[in-house]
Every structure is written in C-alpha cells, then in structure tokens.
Amino acid sequence: MKLLKGTLYFLLIMLAAILLASLFAPSNKVITRIISIDAPREVVFAQLADLRKWPKWDAWYPKDLSQERTFDGGLGDKIQSFSWSSEHEKLGNGSIVVKSFVSNVSLDFMLILINNGRKYSFDGNFMLKERNGQTVVTWNVESEQRYPIKIINYFLEKWIGPDFSAGLENLKTYVETSTNQELGVTENSIVTIEEYGMMYASLAQERIARKGIETFFSNSFEKIYSYLKTNNIKPKGAPRGLIYEWDIENNNVNLAAAIPTTTSIQRPDSIVLLETWDAELYSNHISVMHKGGYETIKEAHTVLQTWLKENSIVHKTPVIEEYIKGPADGIDTSQYITRVSYYFE
C-alpha cells in the first residue's frame, strides 16, 4: 500500500511539475535554418515546390525507406500535399500541405505531426534569395500553442531542428551534384511565373523575328506540356503567348510561351462594339476573339489599341494571346480562334 501511495504521489508531483512548467513555456517558438546553394534560384525552388521530389533530399525519408507516402495534387493545384505513415518511433505519421507560393521566392506550408493520436500543427515557409550568384534558402517553422500543449516548445528545437539542418544539407548536395535532367531543368529553363493573378509554366524568348513566332510557339508548347506531365502538373487552360514588347520598326517581339496552371474565372462587365468586333470589357482588361490564322491577328491588336488610345487608357504588359483553337485541333487556319487581351490599371 505504501508503494502504491508513493507511486501515486510521484505521478501527481510529476503532473504538477509539467503543468507548472507549461505556465512558463513560450507560446510561440520559431525554428530557423539557413543554407547557401550554388545554383539558380528557379532550380532550387523547383525541388521545394514539387513535393514528389522531397524524398530526394528531406531528412525524414532515409530514416524509414519502407514508410508509406501518398501525394495529392501538383504545383498550381488548389491542394498540394503529401502524407507519410511509418512504424519508426521518430517518424510516426504526418503531412505537409502547401498553402501558397510565390514562384522562385517563397513557399508557405503547414506541417502536421501526429504522435500517440495527438495532432500538432505548425506553420512553415521557405524563403529564397539570390546573393553573389548563390541561392540562400531559409527554412522556418513556427509553433504557436496554447496551455498546456505549449510545453512542447521547450523541446521543439531538439526534436526537429537537426532534421531541418540535415534536410538543407541534403538539398544542397542533391542540387549541386545532380544533372539538369535529374533536376528537371531544360536547356531553355521552364519557370513558373505569375501574371495578373494567374500562374503559368513559361518558356521565354526575349527577342524573335515575327516570322519565327509560330515555330517558337510550336516547339515551346511541346516542351512545356512535357514538363507539366513529368511534374504531374495539370494545365488549367489553353496555351498562351505573353507579349512584353512588339518592336514594329524592326519587326521582332519580346514574348514568352505559357500554359496556365491555375484558373481565373471572370465575367465581362459589358460588351463594347469595336468596328466589327464585340469586345468584352472587364474591370482590368479588354478582350476580343480573333478568328483566322496568325498572319491576320494584327487586326485584333489594332482595334484594341485604338480603343485604349481613344479612352486615354495606358495598357500594361504583357499583352496576352490565348490560343483557344489552333494547329493542335487539326483544323483549317481560317478556323483558328485566339482571344487577345490588353490589361490596364
């Protein structure tokens, strides 16, 4: 009986000590690790943003190669996440859920750890900066907990800090020693960009003669679609040309081939009659549908530019050409349909 009482008293004292310690534990704790990688920022970002590439470098995967990992979605999807399940005592179950990202700059996520049936959630992010030809990666995870759970903030640095350090070291080694093919880098690098609130997989060609535009688009879209398929990214619309500058005097153009990876649904505020065109007027852009081959698309640009000038509106770049029907549809060029859009403030 004395032994039982002694054990009970000990447990009560330990519980009281834990609860007391929890009172003084910090409610907020941030774990930060930084590393410099000898590679372009877009290459490093691609390894972080594609969760299917994490087993190549994260510190958790080598601890249990038999762990079960499941992936949901791809870059640009509304939901992108992966979950793991392991019998390893230091892994257990958990998941990473991407919340948002800015291409080649940052990636915000939620880290969820499940231990003994209890779920712990942490906000985290990667920040990328270019410095002296290097990409500096900062990995942050923030724990904001209530009493009495906030006591875990005492131990968080010890629990996950070493894994963050090892993960970044693995990432550095993987990026710096892998081939472009292994890293998913093409000869002309395909990057993720944002224009007017939409994300695109894009391949740029800074200067090209007008007569070479169709060939450029044909080759570029093939490469981008292949890239999307390889990285399990679903296109969210028709291929597009992003026109940043048209040099009429020298008859060349600064443009990019792009395929949307997010969806933007807008309805026009009104329809404006422009000569023989029904233009769709939105709060931030105006569009017309051009029917016919690319050799006549200048007519659509001219009518929109005239309307902008008459209304004293200065448009922004890029101008967007959305190729709704084209060569891939196997139809006569006279049946091609292109939406031309000029954006403004």
My answer on whether 250 and 178 are in the same domain is: no
Annotate 31-40 with b (16+ C-beta within 10 A) or e (fewer): bebebebebb
Range of the domain at 92: 27-182
Indicate whether 2 belongs to any domain.
no
Mean pLDDT calculated for residue range 282-304:
92
Per-residue confidence (pLDDT) for residue 287, from 0 to 100: 96
Q: Are residues 221 and 86 in the same domain?
A: no
Q: What's the CATH code of the domain at 122?
A: 3.30.530.20
Please tell me the distance from the alpha carbon of residue 216 to that of residue 17, in angstroms, as a whole number.
70
Same-domain pairing of 218 and 140: no
Q: Give mean pLDDT, residues 18-44.
A: 71
Residues 206 and 324 in one domain: yes
Most confidently predicted of 123-127, 144-148, 226-230: 123-127
What's 226's domain CATH number? 3.20.80.10
| Residue 150 resides in a domain | yes
Q: Does 34 share its domain with 158?
A: yes
- Lowest mean pLDDT, pick from 10-24, 224-238, 283-297: 10-24
pLDDT at 256 over 50: yes
Work out the end-to-end distance of the chain between its first and last CA atoms, rounded to an integer number of angstroms: 81
Mean pLDDT, residues 5-31: 49
> What is residue 78's three-state secondary structure?
coil
Q: 133 with 169, same domain?
A: yes
**More confident position, 288 or 115:** 288
Q: Which residues pair with 259 in a beta bridge?
A: 201
Q: Would you say residue 269 has pLDDT above 80?
A: yes
* Number of domains comprising the chain: 2
Please check whether residue 126 lies inside any domain of the structure.
yes
Task: Report yes or no on 175 lying in a domain.
Answer: yes
Separation CA 166–CA 259 (nearest Å): 35
Give the pLDDT mean for 225-229.
85
Indicate yes or no: pTM above 0.75: no
Mean pLDDT, all residues of the chain? 82
Two structure tokens written together for 70: 């499941």
Q: Is residue 96 part of a domain?
A: yes
22 occurs within a structural domain: no
In a domain, residue 7? The reply is no
Q: From start to end of the chain, where are the E strands?
A: 28-37, 68-72, 80-85, 93-102, 106-115, 118-131, 134-144, 191-195, 198-209, 240-247, 252-260, 270-274, 277-281, 285-291, 315-325, 337-344
Higher pLDDT, 7 or 237: 237
Name the strand (E) or helix (H) holding 7: helix 2-24
C-alpha span between 243 and 206 (Å, rounded): 10
Q: How far apart are CA 13 and CA 135, in angstroms?
A: 51
Q: Do 284 and 152 fall into the same domain?
A: no
Q: Please tell me whether residues 266 and 325 are part of one structural domain.
A: yes
98 and 160 belong to one structural domain: yes
132 vs 64: CA distance, rounded Å? 37
> 33-61, pLDDT tens digit by residue?
999 999 888 889 889 988 989 999 998 88
Q: Is 96 helix (H, G, I), strand (E, B) or coil?
A: strand
Task: For residues 35 and 152, state if they share a domain.
Answer: yes
